[in-house]
Amino acid sequence: MKKIIVLNGPNLNLLGTREPEKYGSSTLADVETLCIDTAKRLGFDVEFLQSNHEGPLIDKIQEAGLAHRAGTVQGIVFNPGAYTHTSVALHDAIAAMSGLPVIEVHISNVHAREAFRHHSYISPVAAGIVIGFGIQGYALAMEGLAQKS
């Protein structure tokens, strides 16, 4: 069975306690449960990684790119957190894995927030973007990936 990789960047391990007025009260464990249920409904396995460091995220993107070429990974759902606005390295990792669909996800509407959050280094290399739907955005992104062949 093909897999969907769900990646989460810095501080997303604090979901549920970090600024609940912006991110809600759901935890990262709640996100994982939602993704497991969604993947099962769509006929996929799911694998998760959260890291406060770029290196493990880059390694997983590269690994997923190779697995996608081998036909075992459908794509990535990626909430890069603050790295969205700062990481050329993550942009380059996604670009290097041409053909690997990556759906960028943000829990809050980043365009309704501080001006520095309006720019994404990830969006130009993403296959799609889901912004502002709370944690339900992960399920929407997975449904989008299911449509990509």
52 assigned ligand-binding residue? no
18 assigned ligand-binding residue? no
120 assigned ligand-binding residue? no
3-class DSSP assignment, residue 113: coil
Closest by alpha carbon to 93, among 130, 133, 131, 64? 64
- Pairwise CA distance, residues 8 & 105, whole Å: 9
Q: What angle do CA 117, 13, 80 make, to 5 degrees?
A: 35
23 flagged as catalytic: yes
- Pairwise CA distance, residues 44 & 15, whole Å: 25
107 assigned ligand-binding residue? yes
What's the number of CA atoms in the CB half-sphere (13 Å) around residue 16? 8
Q: Which of 23, 83, 121, 138 is catalytic?
A: 23
108 assigned ligand-binding residue? yes
91 flagged as catalytic: no
113 assigned ligand-binding residue? no
Q: Which of 68, 83, 91, 106 is catalytic?
A: 106
- Hey, which residues are catalytic here? 23, 106
List residues forming the annotated binding site for substrate.
79, 85, 92, 107-108, 117
List residues forming the annotated binding site.
79, 85, 92, 107-108, 117
